[in-house]
Structures are given as structure tokens and as C-alpha cells.
Structure 1
Amino acid sequence: MDLNYDTNNIFARIIRGELPAIKVYEDEHTLAFMDIMPQMPGHLLVLPKVEVVTLYQLPDEAATAVLATIKKVGKALEQAMGVDGSSVFQHNGSYAGQTVPHLHFHLLPGPLKMAGAHATVPVETPQLEKIAAQIRDAIAYPNSPHSDTLA
């Protein structure tokens, strides 16, 4: 497994603002955004802003930050999508199915039903923007009821 970090991978470029992303949450240490080839509506990616390929390379301080973001965004995802559970998964290295060599976690609003390593059909930006807006709202107002969920 190649553990050398490629500073021009797509996620590094998104973090630097060189490529667009439909962000739902960002802080000093992490970034969460909509997956453009989702397994299901609401599929999010959460990643640390440190340059690592796998979870095993992640410094403990960054691990704490990314886990806190997964918890915050995951709760908001469930609320926004009107579901009572979600799946969180991550691949370490290309052998395990990692397609971008930057550590990232997938959050799905429901059970994991993977037929392959990753979805292959992009979703249109307006649909992703609508879901992202609901998740951002749920982050900002974690206990407010949503009558217009997408579930």
C-alpha cells in the first residue's frame, strides 16, 4: 500500500479551495461535504484537514477532531433525512476500496448496501444542494423538528 500523500489528490484540492464542494460543515480541523456519486441520497464525506492516506497515520488530536465532526454531522444527517440510524464506514488503502488517497469517512442515512466499491453515477448539484441545506440547518438547530425531510 502506498502511504505517501499526494498533495494534488481531489480532497486536498477541495480543502485548499481549488475545487468546489457542497459543504455541510467545516471547522479548523475537518471538512464535511456531499458525495457527488452517492450510494443513496444524503451520502456525506467527512475528512480531516491533515495530509494522511489512512486512519492508521492519523495523529490522535486529528482523530479526536474528525470523530467529533462525524458525531455532529451524523446526528444532523439523521435528523435532516428523517431516519433513525446511519452507517459510517472508511477504507484504508486501495486494496480495501479507497479511491481517493486522503483519509475520509462515508456517512449514509441508513444501512450500508454496497454492491461495489463506490457508486459511479453523479447526482445533479441542485439535488445535492437541497440535502446539504437541510443538513446544515440540522447542524445549526439540532433539536428543531423538520417537516420537510427527504426520507
Structure 2
Amino acid sequence: MSVPAYDDQNVFAKILRGDLPSHKVFEDAKTVVIMDIMPRGDGHVLVIPKAPSRNIFDIATDDLHAVMSTAQRMARAVKAAFDADGTTIQQFSEPAGGQVVFHTHVHVIPRFEGVALKPHTGQMADPDVLMANAAKIRAVLE
């Protein structure tokens, strides 16, 4: 079974091109980190490679290394920024794996003992809350 071609009209490609707004937290040569607009917890960020790829199956190894290095950095940052007990790191590949947006991305979510993840309802978060949470994380990174 062949993998579908990368669609450069996906939401993350549009964000990377500047066609859609986002709450950017961090950027380096190979990755961008943005706030998830439908967070499953306060401080939920997405690590996105700048190079196009659909998911784990077609991402270049050096881009995957960059994404995971940034994910580790973000895990440390969100844990500190939100005084979290831990983090959840998620990456979904293909529809059967739960992937909805077909540009590789890794979820980094601060976690707290005894607090379940919010359900993924499709409800967008308040932009002011996302902006404030992004600022908290950026402050830890500085």
C-alpha cells in the first residue's frame, strides 16, 4: 500500500508559510513549536518540522532527530513553566493511528498527578489564554 503524497495545503504547512496565524513558542533551523489551539491541557504545544513530511513513515532521519530534540527541550520547558509533575509526548501516524493533520508533529503536554487529559472535542481555546501560556513557556526558555 503506497503512502499518499504530502499535501502542502495542510494547516501546519500554511502556518509555516505564514498563511495562518499561530502562537509561536520556539523556533530553530529545523523546527517550530506552537501552542495547540485545541489543547488537552494547559501548556499543550506542538513540535513541527519545517521540512515537509506526512508522519513518522516519511520524515527524513535528521528532521526526526531535530523534532525529538526540540520535543525534549519543550518537555523540560512546559514542566517548569507549569510546575507539572510530568509530560505526555504523542505522535500519531496515519488515520488508523489517530492522525488528523498530515504534517509530522509531536504533542508535548504538561501532566499533573490525578488530572486526566481533556477530551479532544474540537473546541478551540481562548486566544488570550494561549498567548499567556506561550509567554510562560518562552520565559522559561530565555
Both proteins in one fold, TM over 0.5: yes
How far 1:84 moved relative to its partner? 2.5
SS of 1:131 mapped into structure 2: helix
How far 1:27 moved relative to its partner? 1.1
TM-score by length of 1: 0.85
Confirm or deny that 1:36 pairs with 2:18: no
How far 1:119 moved relative to its partner? 3.5
In structure 2, stretches of 5+ residues that fail to align are none
In structure 1, stretches of 5+ residues that fail to align are 141-151
Confirm or deny that 1:17 pairs with 2:18: yes
| Cα distance per residue 1:19-65 (max 9 Å; x no partner) | 10001001110011101111111111111111111112111111111
Q: Would you say the 8 A contact 1:2–1:93 is kept in 2? A: no
After TM superposition, the structure 1 = structure 2 runs for residues 6-85 of structure 1, keeping only pairs within 5 Å, are 6-85=7-86
Q: Would you say the 8 A contact 2:40–2:118 is kept in 1? A: no
Equivalent position of 2:139 in the other structure = 137
Structure 1 CA distance for aligned equivalents of residues 104 and 116 of structure 2: 21
Q: Would you say the 8 A contact 1:76–1:138 is kept in 2? A: yes
Relative to structure 1, the CA distance from residue 83 to residue 114 in structure 2 (aligned partners, 3 Å threshold; closer, same or farther) is closer
Give the number of aligned pairs.
139
Q: Would you say the 8 A contact 1:46–1:70 is kept in 2? A: yes
Q: Would you say the 8 A contact 1:9–1:101 is kept in 2? A: yes
Structure 2 CA distance for aligned equivalents of residues 19 and 119 of structure 1: 21
TM-score by length of 2: 0.91
Q: Alpha carbon RMSD of aligned pairs, Å?
A: 1.8
Amino acid at match of 2:65: T
